[in-house]
Structure 1
Amino acid sequence: MAYRQTNSRTILQRRSSLSNLVQQLLDGGAVIGITWGLVTYYTGGFYSAYVNMMFLMLGIMALTYDRFAIYRSNATYIDKAFNLLKAWSLTFLVLVVLAFLTKQSDIYSRSLIAKIFVSGYFAQLTLHYIFRIIYQKVILHSQQSEKVLIVGQSKLAYYLQHKISSNPWIGEQVIGFIRLPGDEKQTSGRKAPGRKADPMILGNIEHLSALIDQYDISMIYVVTPLQSSKALEDIYTNTLDKHVAIHWIPDIFSLRLVNHSVKEISGIPVITLSETPLIGMRMLLKSLEDKLLSALILIAILPILLIVAIAVKLDSPGPVFFRQNRAGWSGKSFKIWKFRSMYVHQEEAGKLKQAQKNDSRITRVGAFIRKTSLDELPQIFNVLTGDMSLVGPRPHALQHDKEYSQRIFDYFARHHIKPGITGLAQVRGLRGETTEIGQMVQRVEADIEYINNWSIWLDITILFRTVFAFTGKGAY
């Protein structure tokens, strides 16, 4: 029999609150007021070009502020200030790119835009601080915290308890833990290991109904590992008459996840365990970043490219450039551009030897350009053709991909995003020859961390750090 959805209401719902709406209105009002005031003061009027800019800015804010969860996160004020700065900066970066692409940048005063940026940020920061104080002093104190039970004893369950207990904004109080079938046996009444202040472990699943009545519980979080998901049905059916809210948190974090998320297909909830972060608008933003910045970088480094090309040609016989097949986004093969840094030689059939310190195959010029990473500069052409990105996991030789994929189980997760000229692993010093498998494991971990946390802001940060990481003990 075919499955039929009996309710047209979408299953996935975004939670919102009046406080979030008020904060959004305050931020929007502050941006409108500051833009109108500064433009009027410095230009003598509020012209149509600035009206268009203001409404466009509000629209972009809605997207970037949602991306950084400005109104949905329960972060500390310092974290909120930093996230607000990133979202506000990305808003203006998009504005600048759009003005450049539409050839409208000359219409606007750069100093005025800078004043709007600085004033707008500090105005919002002040409003967030005042609203936070009012909310904590008045609203939270007038509300009674909801009493919560957590079903499960995994690391994620304890992490959830820590987050709830350390964050007064949530308005919940964890009373204790309930053991799932298969959880490590512990004596009832024993405190959670390693945490003196943790709630007591109150009992097993069969005690749940009585504990709800005993502690006047209004909410239950069920944190189940993959093999214990069946227990959720029993918990749900046995508590229907208890008038408690039940939230399910599937414990999938024992897996190495790549850009995990929760979404829906026609109202059906879908938990994504592995996916590229470059989807829709994010892919467009990454592409614009690569094309615009690489074009500017190419203009800036063109004299260096010419000088290095001449030096390579004069130093030893052979081609100026080294071309080699590499695996890119989704494992698709492409030819990488590099300046040749070794004497022309023939590799052993089926083997590829990594460059080593004092390698006799490396030329005099090659030693210098490898040490300074100048040999990587021609990859700017790979970025312009779309095979690579400015920032991403470094593409390895195909033979190395084959070797390391057999020894590191999540090695190919690196291919969920375009390879880059520089990356998070490189600015952390994880480059050069990998004599031990642990060194490559560290690279892979950094690459997956980059994929899971990708943003334009992170790319800019890595590019900035790359300037100071051009040389190092790992480069030869």
Structure 2
Amino acid sequence: MTFLAGRLNFLGRGLTFWGQWLVAVSSMITLLCVLALIETGEIGLHYRMLALIVLFGSVPVYSLMRVYHKKHGYLVGLCRLLAGWLILLGGLTVAVVVTKTGEHFSHEVALAWGMFGFALQAGTYLPLHTFARRYDRKHQAERTALIIGTGEQAWNLADKLVENKYGPVVGLVAAGEEQLPDSSRYPVIGDLSNLRDLIVTHHISRLYIALPLTAAKKIEELYFELLDANTDVVWLPDLHSIMPLNHSVGDIEGMPAIHLNKCPLSAYPSAALSKALMDRAVALLALIAISPVLLATVIAVKCSSPGPVLFKQDRHGWNGTIIKVWKFRSMRLHDDPRVTQARRDDPRITRVGRFIRRTSIDELPQLFNVLLGQMSLVGPRPHAVAHNDYYTGKIAAYMARHRIKPGMTGLAQINGCRGETQTIDKMQKRVELDLAYINNWSLWLDIKILFQTPFALFSRDIY
């Protein structure tokens, strides 16, 4: 029975991505072939090669965009589907331009396929996504849970299980550790002495062990005691005290391994490549589009005060390497060996400088840093080397911000952490958001941050 349930669970997870992907890619290729047949009377070699590229190219694009994730609502899912489709079309366009094979394809077929291809995918997405979500809800509703532990880790776990609809939480089991105040939502229904009776009485299908690392001996005893219990046992070690970076669980030749400090973009080369391609493509298009603004700013800065147009400052980049970050000069020339942060009504800032800082135009030359591969469009903002030297050791995991490329904007910036950081607490908040970005990175998150950045420019903390 347990084996059958496991197989059904596997099939349900498979339907979430592979089932929906198979239907989508089949519809895309079928549409392409029909359009080519109508337009040219045959499905030529180049169209067949294009179909093959779509078959294999859609897998990394759609998986990176998490198009078919079961937790997405319909609107978010359709937006991700559209983003994935546009990225796929963009990649195909670049491939056609590079190989100079555009004359082999009909413009009418390409245009119709681009428009109706998404409509067809959206039409199949809605019913399949509905079915996958209903299956998942039904499966989760049947999985009653019991948590061993009454500390903060146990309460946090119970909240997450309920919020994300992982099934009903029957209650908590005391294991001798310090208890938090009782709650009517998660009552303490027993202790380890009657654990077996609780599992049978409440028909527990999943048992979570949420004990601190100091209880390792007790966790080992529970493992052997529950080997023959007809329930799944999941151990969630409490790692919050050591601030793991993008932690994950895997194995090394069959030996379980918890990755405490894993750089996502170096661990997954395809993800790093996708981010780099998007960064440089958008940076190049942006530089072309805003070239009049750049030219006007060059003239304004040159006329505002003596000195160079660009200000280049040493900052820490990826893995702590020193890079020269470009900005339009917004201050009068001065000597500042301490690299003092700009503050409100700073007398060093020129009139032109105040405007370009307020509108963030002074940051636009960093698009060249992105083109050079030194920076990303989205990532933790690079701080001056002197500031990093000051905060290192004062804030836990401060330099972990540099495990990925610094960005022109980031999660911290769209959440109001901009401008001068007068206190350690303000910098701590910025670091926490930077680490949250690293832990939850995806192309979709980058796109959302880019769209929200213009609204963050109205912050009063920019000066």
Q: Same fold (TM over 0.5)?
A: yes
SS of aligned partner of 1:281: helix
CA contact (8 A) 2:141 2:168 kept: no
Q: 2:292 aligned with 1:312, yes or no?
A: no
In 2, Cα distance between equivalents of 1:144 and 1:306: 61
Q: 2:11 aligned with 1:18, yes or no?
A: yes
Match in the other structure for 2:313: 324
CA contact (8 A) 1:324 1:337 kept: yes
Structure number with higher helix proportion: 2
Instruction: Give the C-alpha shift of residue 55 in structure 1.
Output: 4.1
SS of aligned partner of 2:313: strand
Instruction: Give the C-alpha shift of residue 253 in structure 1.
Output: 3.3
- Residue among 93, 97, 101 paired with 2:91: 97
Structure 1 residues 33 and 419 mapped into 2: Cα distance closer, same or farther (>3 Å)? closer
Match in the other structure for 1:457: 444
Aligned length: 445
User: Structure 2: which amino acid aligns with 1:414?
Assistant: R
User: Structure 1: which amino acid aligns with 2:400?
Assistant: A
Match in the other structure for 1:123: 124
User: Structure 2: which amino acid aligns with 1:339?
Assistant: F
Answer with 232-241 or 96-105: which moved more. 96-105
Structure 1 residues 43 and 411 mapped into 2: Cα distance closer, same or farther (>3 Å)? same
User: Structure 1: which amino acid aligns with 2:142?
Assistant: S
Instruction: Give the C-alpha shift of residue 265 in structure 1.
Output: 2.6
- Residue among 343, 356, 359 paired with 2:343: 356
Structure 1 residues 20 and 275 mapped into 2: Cα distance closer, same or farther (>3 Å)? closer
User: Structure 2: which amino acid aligns with 1:332?
Assistant: T
Runs (5+) with no aligned partner, structure 2: 1-5
CA contact (8 A) 1:223 1:250 kept: yes
Instruction: Give the C-alpha shift of residue 341 in structure 1.
Output: 1.4
User: Structure 2: which amino acid aligns with 1:180?
Assistant: A
User: Structure 1: which amino acid aligns with 2:83?
Assistant: S
Q: 2:288 aligned with 1:299, yes or no?
A: yes
CA contact (8 A) 1:323 1:337 kept: yes
CA contact (8 A) 1:35 1:116 kept: no
- Residue among 53, 68, 78 paired with 1:56: 53
In 2, Cα distance between equivalents of 1:368 and 1:165: 48
Match in the other structure for 2:412: 425
Match in the other structure for 1:367: 354
Instruction: Give the C-alpha shift of residue 385 in structure 1.
Output: 1.6
In 1, Cα distance between equivalents of 2:133 and 2:363: 48
1:176-195 equivalences under 5 Å are: 176-184=171-179, 192-193=182-183
Structure 1 residues 443 and 64 mapped into 2: Cα distance closer, same or farther (>3 Å)? same
Instruction: Give the C-alpha shift of residue 208 in structure 1.
Output: 2.2
In 2, Cα distance between equivalents of 1:430 and 1:249: 32
CA contact (8 A) 1:258 1:273 kept: yes
Answer with 15-24 or 425-434: which moved more. 15-24
Instruction: Give the C-alpha shift of residue 131 in structure 1.
Output: 5.2
CA contact (8 A) 1:150 1:220 kept: yes
Answer with 176-185 or 64-73: which moved more. 64-73
Quote the RMSD (CA, aligned, Å). Answer: 3.3
CA contact (8 A) 1:151 1:177 kept: yes
User: Structure 1: which amino acid aligns with 2:389?
Assistant: K
User: Structure 2: which amino acid aligns with 1:460?
Assistant: I
1:38-49 equivalences under 5 Å are: 40=34, 44=38, 46-49=43-46
Match in the other structure for 1:252: 239
- Residue among 13, 23, 28 paired with 2:22: 28
Q: 2:364 aligned with 1:377, yes or no?
A: yes
Instruction: Give the C-alpha shift of residue 392 in structure 1.
Output: 1.3
Q: 2:274 aligned with 1:282, yes or no?
A: no
Structure 1 residues 14 and 217 mapped into 2: Cα distance closer, same or farther (>3 Å)? closer
SS of aligned partner of 1:207: helix
SS of aligned partner of 2:441: coil
Structure 1 residues 209 and 271 mapped into 2: Cα distance closer, same or farther (>3 Å)? same
- Residue among 344, 350, 354 paired with 2:333: 344
CA contact (8 A) 1:20 1:71 kept: no
What is the CA deviation profile of residues 152-208 of structure 1, one whole-angstrom value per residue up to 9, with x for unaligned ones? 22344334444555667x5x554332222323288xxxxx42xx343x423222332
- Residue among 143, 150, 153 paired with 2:147: 150
Match in the other structure for 2:381: 394
Q: 2:322 aligned with 1:333, yes or no?
A: yes
User: Structure 1: which amino acid aligns with 2:11?
Assistant: L
SS of aligned partner of 2:251: strand
Instruction: Give the C-alpha shift of residue 474 in structure 1.
Output: 2.0
CA contact (8 A) 1:92 1:117 kept: no
Q: 2:189 aligned with 1:202, yes or no?
A: yes
Instruction: Give the C-alpha shift of residue 17 in structure 1.
Output: 2.0
SS of aligned partner of 2:207: strand
Match in the other structure for 1:86: 80
SS of aligned partner of 2:290: helix
Runs (5+) with no aligned partner, structure 1: 1-12, 187-191
SS of aligned partner of 1:59: helix
CA contact (8 A) 2:148 2:175 kept: yes
1:266-281 equivalences under 5 Å are: 266-279=253-266, 280-281=269-270
User: Structure 1: which amino acid aligns with 2:177?
Assistant: G
SS of aligned partner of 2:240: coil
CA contact (8 A) 1:328 1:388 kept: yes
Structure 1 residues 244 and 429 mapped into 2: Cα distance closer, same or farther (>3 Å)? closer
